Amino acid sequence: MGKVDNEDYIPALRFHWLTSLYDPILRWSMRESTFKPKLIEQLGLDASRRVLDLGCGTGTLTLLLKQACPEAEVIGLDIDPKVLRAARNKAEKKGMNIPFHQGMSDELPYPDRSFDRVVASLMFHHLTYENKRRTLHEVFRILKPQGELHIADWGKAQNGLMRLAFLSIQFLDGFKTTADHVKGILPQLIKDSGFVDVEETDRFMTLYGTLSLYRANKPANGQ
């Protein structure tokens, strides 16, 4: 996979020097032990599935997916080489054979109709509006007909407290990329990319705002 300049993306927690803190912060403040099992259950994995963890970060979800269904083919992709090194180290320590690739979400290095599931956890809020659209079109392209997209990311706040809490994420990750989540337009963007049966399946209140789970299907006749 091709190399990407560090200037081309926003790393986890915005600054490279904070990357080492990403896992403990997510573990203790984001209800990770609650929302990630729900997300994995939502995927409905079995041995025949080929799954892409898009924006896999340090590989926590990627490893959980493989643990949930060892027979499934699970691949992680991220743009940041530093987090990919951490992900590979995690997999090696657990004796798991998981490919981790470097690449851009809006130029996925995979053939058309080559995955059964694509999952993205806390990745879309790092993308601009246009890059969200391009990424969703790419996800649609690489999914097989009747394949599924599953997302965990910031949703529209269900109350004033959650809206106030989300300001901390906006200050950290940028107001430009997170504005779409304040407006709650991610489901519409998913529909505009050709997906059907788009739904918010769950939502969680966290220290930083409302976290939503989404599911969408590629039609049987989708190309």
45-63 residue pLDDT tens: 999 999 999 999 999 999 9
Strand order across the 209-217 sheet: 100-102, 73-78, 50-54, 115-121, 143-154, 209-217, 196-206
For residue 165, give its domain range. 6-217
Q: What is the pLDDT of residue 30?
A: 59
Residues in the chain, pLDDT under 50: 1-7, 13-19, 21
Question: Would residue 223 count as lying in a domain?
Answer: no
- Closest C-alpha to 147, from 88, 105, 195, 181: 195
3-state secondary structure of 66: helix
Question: Would residue 147 count as lying in a domain?
Answer: yes
Q: What is the pLDDT of residue 111?
A: 98
Number of structural domains the chain divides into: 1
Q: What is the pLDDT of residue 28?
A: 52
Question: Max alpha carbon distance in the chain (Å)?
Answer: 45
- pTM of the predicted model as reported, rounded to 2 decimal places: 0.87
The residue type of 126 is: H
Q: What is the pLDDT of residue 64?
A: 95
- CB-count burial class (<10 Å; 0-12, 13-18, 19+) for 7: exposed
CATH number at residue 180: 3.40.50.150
Question: Would residue 98 count as lying in a domain?
Answer: yes
Question: Would residue 79 count as lying in a domain?
Answer: yes
Question: Would residue 222 count as lying in a domain?
Answer: no
Question: Would residue 45 count as lying in a domain?
Answer: yes
Q: What is the pLDDT of residue 35?
A: 87
The residue type of 161 is: L
**How, if at all, do strands 209-217 and 196-206 pair?**
antiparallel
Question: Would residue 1 count as lying in a domain?
Answer: no
Q: How many Å apart are CA 147 and CA 181, to the nearest integer?
A: 24
Q: What is the pLDDT of residue 1?
A: 42
Question: Would residue 21 count as lying in a domain?
Answer: yes
